[in-house]
Amino acid sequence: MPQYAEPVDRMWCIYTAEGLETALKDTHLPFTIRTNCIPAQFDEFYETYDVDPDSPYYVPEEKRLDIF
């Protein structure tokens, strides 16, 4: 169970005073953005998980990032 619980604990530690201090020094995007917003930018995400427009994870194609 530690292999599951410890990463989850670290994920939520930003809500403690010590965790907030650590989060302010971190240069990465917050966990929820990395896990929820980034995958939704790729067509493969929609194909793999069969995400439809009614899903809260759906991002219309015209609003997805296009950097290439």
Per-residue pLDDT of 19-30, as tens digits, reads 677 777 877 777
The number of CA neighbours under 13 Å toward the Cβ of 30 is: 11
Tell whether pTM > 0.85.
no
pLDDT at 1: 38
Each residue's pLDDT tens digit, 29-61: 776 667 777 888 889 989 999 999 999 889 999
Q: What CA–CA distance (Å, rounded) separates 40 from 45?
A: 6
Vertex 46: Cα angle to 41 and 51 (nearest 5): 115
